[in-house]
Amino acid sequence: MKILIPTKLDKAAAAALGAAGYEVVQDDATALSEQVKMHRDAAGLIVRSEKVLPEIIDALPGLKCIIRAGAGYDNIDYVYARSKGIDVMNTPGANANAVAEEVVAMILAAYRYVVPADVTTRAGEWNKKQYMGRELTRKTVGILGLGNIGRMLVKRLQGFECTVLGYDHFLSRQRALNIGATPAELEEIFSTADIVSIHVPGGPGTRNMVDARLLGLMKDGAMLVNCARYGVVDEDALRAVKESGKKIIYCTDVHPKDVAAQQPSADVAEVILPHLGANTKEANKAAAVRAAAEMIAYFADGDTSCVVNAEMPADLNPAHLRMAAMLGKLCYQAAGCKPIRRIECTFYNNLRSFRKWFTPWILQGAVPGAEQGLMPAAAEASLREHGITFKAREPMDDKFYDDSLTLDLFTEEDGEQHKASVRGMVVDGVPVVSRIDGFNQLYAALPGNTLVLRYKDRPGVIATIGQALSDGGINIDNIVAPLDQTSGDALAVIKTNKPVQAKQVESIAERVQAKLAFALSM
């Protein structure tokens, strides 16, 4: 069986595959488009940044598996690969230390003017006074995201005696402290840190996460390092803040596309690199070893646990998956947006056989900023990485809720534990929530704009809510307000024609003395 490696990958992959009996062709000098013509019988393909487009896939009729030796796999048309029955895998985590060290290198380079000092000295200048630098030692460093890379960065900063603040909504306070970071909110980090380093996933959940408001909180002379994803930092807002006179040092190695071009960050960054985070011999070897191991396990044992484009069962209704994500968002709000410690789910009726496929949707719904589009195994690994226990429970024999899902979130903050619970189903193709905590028979549509208020039941509350919404130019499309006889509380679930803003929610909650109040749009 032939494995094609058309990239400059550490020879460890070829050695391991060769020892396992595979025929390996590794050639980083010849274009992939030419290699596929010569090796049409290749069954496996290992790439780094090479683009694997439909024409490449079509040229390899015997191809069964493509592995990206690295974390991101956007360079592979994995959807088209799926349509051809080809599995795509990646090797996440292999480059964590390399990225962490790159962050330290960029900080030191910016603080000590390494790049301009080298250029001018080579040109015969002697600008010693101009390049008065700063020391990293004993600085306050804020890290956004304490995943594999963030945790490794904490370790690397220990030798510099830094005070490390960490923001990661997934982690409990004690777990963050055990890592070596003091938990802090975004506002505290941006207003107090000398250096802020970003290590959160990309996607809609973190788009422009570092916006004008947070940038405005930074101290004059503070540094911002982005080795995460392009788009996490609102660079237009950063440009405006710097043009206003505030001195912010910006270091980045992430760009819209990894191609030779004038990068949009060039005019706003003091240090800019061509996405070198994983570009070390050690990371290259780690990725090579993992890629070879995954390829061998795939063909020898049928191991598909690392597949990122697995085909969902044809008889699984996509509306149920969307329902799971929406229930996650709703339950997170009902839990007070506190750090999640545990997620438990019960799948009823036909959904029981599809349990694993719901994990990525529950993750991206319940956990703010979570990476989207993961396959089940990767989603489970993401939950574990952030200290969240995930459990799929068996339903009680005496309960029957059609094809429905119960989702429970267990949160903890400052030693206090809390549980929120929701149940949902799909009715006429529309995801609905049928229960929130102890309030049953809601059957409220999840898509659209929703306002939820829990309050002590008494006459006139609904009228007060309606008047407040009307004053804000908001119409009520639908409303249910069941009563919990045990507590005497009512829960109003109100569908509105447009989103209810945070200030409006706060005002309404104050007027009706709500115990719980939130609005969301889905």
Judge if 231 and 124 occupy the same domain: yes
Q: Is position 307 within any domain?
A: no
Bridge partners of 432, per DSSP, are 425, 445
Q: Residue 400: what pLDDT?
A: 63
Half-sphere exposure (Cβ direction) of 19: Cα atoms closer than 13 Å: 9
Give the whole-angstrom CA distance, residue 327 versus residue 363: 11
Smallest CA-to-CA distance from 296 within 8, 46, 35, 32 is with 46
The residue to which tokens 């596309």 are assigned: 257
Q: Residue 387: what pLDDT?
A: 78
Give the type of residue at 5. Answer: I
Q: E strands of 188-306, at which residues?
A: 195-198, 223-226, 249-252, 271-272
Half-sphere exposure (Cβ direction) of 209: Cα atoms closer than 13 Å: 25
Judge if 286 and 336 occupy the same domain: no
Judge if 263 and 114 occupy the same domain: yes
Judge if 87 and 113 occupy the same domain: no
Half-sphere exposure (Cβ direction) of 358: Cα atoms closer than 13 Å: 32
- What 3-state DSSP class applies to 410? strand
Judge if 521 and 386 occupy the same domain: no
User: What does DSSP say about strands 449-456 and 516-521: parallel, antiparallel, or unpaired?
Assistant: antiparallel
Give the other-Cβ count within 10 Å of 26's Cβ. Answer: 17
The residue to which tokens 């274009």 are assigned: 31
Q: CB under 8 Å to 513, separation ≥6 — which residues? A: 455, 456
Residue 493 Cα distances to 118, 145, 451, 519, angstroms? 63, 34, 6, 10
Q: Is position 355 within any domain?
A: yes
Give the whole-angstrom CA distance, residue 105 versus residue 232: 21
Q: CB under 8 Å to 119, separation ≥6 — which residues? A: none
- Eight-class DSSP state of 210: B
Give the type of residue at 9. Answer: L
Q: Are 232 and 207 in contact (CB under 8 A)?
A: yes
Q: Are 351 and 320 in contact (CB under 8 A)?
A: yes
Judge if 100 and 237 occupy the same domain: yes
Q: Is position 306 within any domain?
A: no
Run means of pLDDT, 10 residues per run, the chain, 522 residues: 96 97 96 96 95 96 95 84 92 88 98 97 96 97 90 95 88 77 94 96 80 96 95 96 96 91 94 92 94 96 84 83 95 91 92 89 86 76 81 74 90 83 93 93 94 95 95 94 91 95 94 95 93
Q: Residue 442: what pLDDT?
A: 92
Note down the domain range covering 45: 2-92+281-301
Indicate the number of domains in the chain: 4
Give the whole-angstrom CA distance, residue 58 versus residue 81: 9
Give the whole-angstrom CA distance, residue 47 versus residue 317: 34
Half-sphere exposure (Cβ direction) of 464: Cα atoms closer than 13 Å: 17
Q: Residue 409 sits in a domain of what CATH number? A: 3.30.1330.90
- What 3-state DSSP class applies to 407? strand
Judge if 144 and 260 occupy the same domain: yes
